[in-house]
Amino acid sequence: MSLDSVLARVDADLNKATDRLMALLRIPSISTDPAYSDHCDAAADWLVDDLRSIGFDADKRTTSGHPMVMAHGEGSGPHVMFYGHYDVQPVDPLDLWDSPPFEPAIEDTPKGKVIRGRGSSDDKGQLMTFVEACRAWKAVHGSLPAKVSIFFEGEEESGSPSLVPFMEANREELTADVALICDTGLFGESTPAIVTRLRGLLGEELTITGPNKDLHSGMYGGIARNPIRVLAKIIASLHDASGRIMVPGYYDGVEELPPKIAQQWNDLGFENAKFLGEVGLGLPAGEDGRTGLEMIWSRPTCEVNGIGGGYQGDGFKTVLPAKASAKISFRLVPGQDPLKLRESFRAFVQSQLPDDCTVAFASHGASAASEMSTDHPAFEKARAALSAEWPNEAAFVGCGGSIPIAGHFKQILGMDAMLIGFGKDDDQIHSPNEKYDLSSFHKGIRSWVRVLDALSK
């Protein structure tokens, strides 16, 4: 019973595994802030040392930004490439944290024990589930059940500037039979999930200029064009009353869900009211006639992430501003071409612009959606392995966010990626008081033990 003995080893070693995670969490590896650059380096060093202690051939690779960690462990069977990221989000607003973000601790909560601290869920806790699974295999059997490579990035929270160049420069070393990515969550409390659909992202910023300076709204109000009103009208025109996006050609290539997947999603018992109620909302705001899961997993969106113009300080200023701007993002689904949609969006804005206004655009990224081919046998093997660990059957699900690494594995290396993670909706990633359930960590390690076992067969 080789599998059972490894699982038993995981259970016995949990306290020490938690201590190791704590040590990694204490390193404030905030990638977006240059002041934390040395700490990013320290986190990479910590991982290299830990992987070497398990027997991996591990080292740190310099980039023009923060270093990558690469590790290879010998084993028979298929070759898997595991990806995670050791960098974390900034911690502001710091005053909303109930405990210091880089002094992690185990806390008892009404829902069970949690590991509290920045990065506990996103993504240090998650990546350590895999490392601990490998450690347990090695401890029990002296070897891994597969050839295992590990690839940790340190810039995921700051736009991954070095990722694509690094992957292109190291194609051979990074190519395996299948990629494993641990940066996603369970569905609900206890349904393991393999993400097979990821939305892409098109980020645009537009600045509308009307008058050549700020004007007094008494002297000019009524006769002069107000760029805030122009911008508001354009934003209002982006959706029709049914929630459909009005950018011409926006839905070109967007397909309906395969009935089998649609059925699976319906079976998940997602409740709009519960999901929205947790954040103080109540009414699904997407397209009429779509389920909540479709709205976040399989339908494209157009959202305004920021808007600004005129006087925003205390009090009042009767100004007609020269400029107004907005940051707009489109979550894309398979079939949509980000570059084509960028052109279409810009033309749509231009077409609504009064003749005495101008618009300037800035691009904030354009990545296509990803759809995994679940025909690869690894997908069904992993689904069965996860179903054995958790109370509920594992499901193939979508993810509303963008995890570009999955697309890169496919496009640059021709490799399918399985996104398996153990985060929960209330983990507060990117927010104050981030946490990772101790049960996510524990059962996450056990899950990888089972997945590695299944893939080796």
Query: In the range 260-299, which residues lie near its own copies by CB under 8 A?
Result: 272, 275-276, 279-286, 292, 295-296, 299
How far is the C-alpha of 183 from the C-alpha of 404, rounded, in Å? 11
- The interface mask with its own copies, positions 20-39, x = CB under 8 A, is ------------xxx-----
Site residues for its own copies, 151-180, by CB under 8 A, read 157-159
According to DSSP, residue 166 is labeled: H
Does 246 interact with its own copies (rule: CB under 8 A)? no
Q: What is the side-by-side strand order in the sheet with 112-116?
A: 105-109, 112-116, 435-437
Phi, psi of 69, deg, nearest 5: -115, 125
Total residues interacting with its own copies, rule: CB under 8 A: 97
CB of 32 to its own copies, least distance (A): 4
Contact set for its own copies, span 86-125 (CB under 8 A) = 89-90, 92, 96
Q: Does 301 interact with its own copies (rule: CB under 8 A)?
A: yes
Q: How far is the CB of 168 from its own copies (least distance, A)?
A: 23
Residue 158 or 170: which CB sits closer to its own copies?
158
CB of residue 351 to its own copies, shortest distance in Å? 15
Distance CA 326, CA 288 (A): 26
Residues in the chain: 457
Residue carrying structure tokens 């569905």:
187
Q: Which of 274, 311, 339, 361 binds its own copies (CB under 8 A)?
A: 311
Using the contact rule CB under 8 A, the part of the chain among 73-81, 139-147, 231-239, 366-374 near its own copies is 231-239
| Interface with its own copies in residues 127-156 (CB under 8 A) | none
Residue 251 tokens read as: 């839905």
Interacting residues with its own copies between 51 and 90 (CB under 8 A): 89-90
Cβ 325 to its own copies shortest distance, Å = 8
In the complex with its own copies, which residue's Cβ is closer, 165 or 306? 306
In 10 A of CB 267, how many CB atoms? 10
Q: Does 320 bind its own copies (CB under 8 A)?
A: yes
CB of 243 to its own copies, least distance (A): 9
Token match 């070393």: residue?
173
Q: With respect to its own copies, which residue has the nearer C-beta, 20 or 39?
A: 39
Measured distance CA(70)–CA(149) in Å, rounded: 7
Residue 153: Cβ-neighbour burial (10 angstroms; 0-12, 13-18, 19+) = buried
Q: Contact, 285 vs 271, CB < 8 A? A: no
Q: Closest separation between CB of residue 230 and its own copies, Å?
A: 9
Cβ-count burial 284-294 (b if 16+ within 10 Å, e if not): bebbeeebbbb
Residues of span 429-448 touching its own copies by CB under 8 A:
429-432
* Residue 300: closest CA among 367, 244, 366, 372: 244
* Shorter beta-carbon distance to its own copies: residue 78 or 321: 321
Q: How far is the CB of 108 from its own copies (least distance, A)?
A: 21
Q: Which is nearer to its own copies, 193 or 429 (CB)?
A: 429
Selected binder of its own copies within 95, 236, 256, 414 (CB under 8 A): 236
Please write down the HEC assignment for all residues of 416-454. Answer: CEEEECCECHHHCCCCCCCEEEHHHHHHHHHHHHHHHHH
Report the residue number, 170 or 272, with the smaller CB distance to its own copies: 272
Question: Interface with its own copies by CB under 8 A: which range of 10-18, 21-29, 142-150, 354-362?
Answer: 354-362
Residue 422: CB atoms within 10 Å: 28
Of residues 210 through 229, those in contact with its own copies by CB under 8 A are: 210-226, 228-229
231 binds its own copies, rule: CB under 8 A: yes
Per the CB < 8 A criterion, the answer to whether 54 and 74 are in contact is: no
332 interacts with its own copies by CB under 8 A: no
Q: How many CA atoms lie within 13 A of 113 on its CB side?
A: 11
Contact string (CB under 8 A) for its own copies, positions 372-411, x = contact: ---------------------------xxxx---------
Nearest C-alpha neighbor of 245 from the set 344, 317, 178, 337:
344
Give yes or no for residue 189 binding its own copies (CB under 8 A).
Answer: no
Count CB atoms within 10 A of the CB of residue 78: 19
- Phi, psi torsion values for 17, nearest 5 degrees: -60, -40
